[in-house]
Amino acid sequence: MPRVRTHLVTWDEIVEWSMNLARIIRENGYKPELVVAVSRGGFVPARLICDFLGVENLASIQSQHWTEAAKAEERAILKYPFKLDASGMRVLVVDDIVDTGETLRLARDYIRDNWSPLEVKTAALQWISPVAKYKPDYYYLEVKEWIWFQYPWTRLEDTYQFIKRMMSETYKETGKKEWSYKEIIDGFKEWYGIDVGDMYYREALRILLEKGIVKYDPGRDKYLLKV
Ligand code: AMP
């Protein structure tokens, strides 16, 4: 049993899910003139939705989770709250997944209140129904049990963070600081239940070295967690 339930999402799945999401929107009769990608996760789905619905206008807004200093709870913030004149336009705001829903709801509210659109609707490839405080107007997959979706566009970021987490938690539990490349790969597969492939493991280790989180000992061919 992996420690963190993770599903490795392939590019093919993204195309299939986006095409199905576009079909649901089309069948519902909604015809957006402007698609807005919620950056960064909504970029690829939004571009595909434009392709599948034949929409030429694509904008983006960056909404993301922010942990307030000294506060346990998280809230979403808009990074670049710019204004765009969308008067007379039907807008579709697209993200990859609705987890708590804060990110998509904030983007939707901001666009509705500041861009003067005719109408705003929201869409996501996936909606985690038991935890989400917000339900998008359109979604393709309802996720009934929380799981981490390892999307292709965050593969490197997730991989190095996952390796870092595995190494530091193992150190806390057992005092182990030294890892061979093979131990890292085997550990990763066991912890997360997925295999991202050699190219990503190598790149992730390069980043961990660059960030000074691990050190490489060429003599012993081992990666050392800096503690
Ligand atoms: P939310 O909690 O709905 O505000 O989610 C914010 C963003 O975090 C989403 O748009 C995703 O990019 C990312 N995210 C949240 N939960 C997950 C998950 N379970 N799997 C993958 N990405 C996630």
Beta carbon of 95 within 6 Å of any ligand 1 atom: yes
> So where are the chain's domains?
6-150, 153-225
**Coil, strand or helix: which one is 191?**
helix
Beta carbon of 170 within 6 Å of any ligand 1 atom: no
pLDDT surpasses 60 at 82: yes
Instruction: Please name which of 143, 186, 194, 204 lies closest in space to residue 7, comparing C-alpha atoms.
Output: 194
Q: How many whole angstroms from 65 Cα to the centroid of ligand 1?
A: 9
**Coil, strand or helix: which one is 23?**
helix
* Pocket mutation for ligand 1, best pick of 62, 79, 103 (most atoms within 8 Å of C-beta): 103
Residue nearest to atom 22 of ligand 1 (CA): 149
Average pLDDT, stretch 213-221? Answer: 97
pLDDT band at 67 (very low <50, low <70, confident <90, very high): low
Beta carbon of 65 within 6 Å of any ligand 1 atom: yes
Q: What is the mean pLDDT of the chain?
A: 95
Beta carbon of 161 within 6 Å of any ligand 1 atom: no
Beta carbon of 158 within 6 Å of any ligand 1 atom: no
Q: Check: CATH 1.50.10.20 for 6-150?
A: no
Atom of ligand 1 at shortest distance to CA of 103? 4
CA distances from 168 to 74, 86, 201, 222 (A): 23, 48, 17, 16
Atom of ligand 1 at shortest distance to CA of 98? 3
Contact (Cβ atoms closer than 8 angstroms) between residue 150 and residue 4: no
Alpha carbon distance 117, 84 (integer Å): 10
pLDDT band at 66 (very low <50, low <70, confident <90, very high): low
Phi, psi (5° rounding) for residue 197?
Answer: 95, 155
pLDDT in tens, 96-151: 999 999 999 999 999 999 999 999 999 999 999 999 999 999 999 999 999 999 99
Q: Can the peptide bond before residue 202 be classed as cis, meaning omega within 30 degrees of 0?
A: no
In b/e form, how buried is each residue of 100-112, taking b as 16+ CB within 10 angstroms?
bbbbbbbbbebbe
CATH topology of domain 153-225: Arc Repressor Mutant, subunit A (1.10.10)
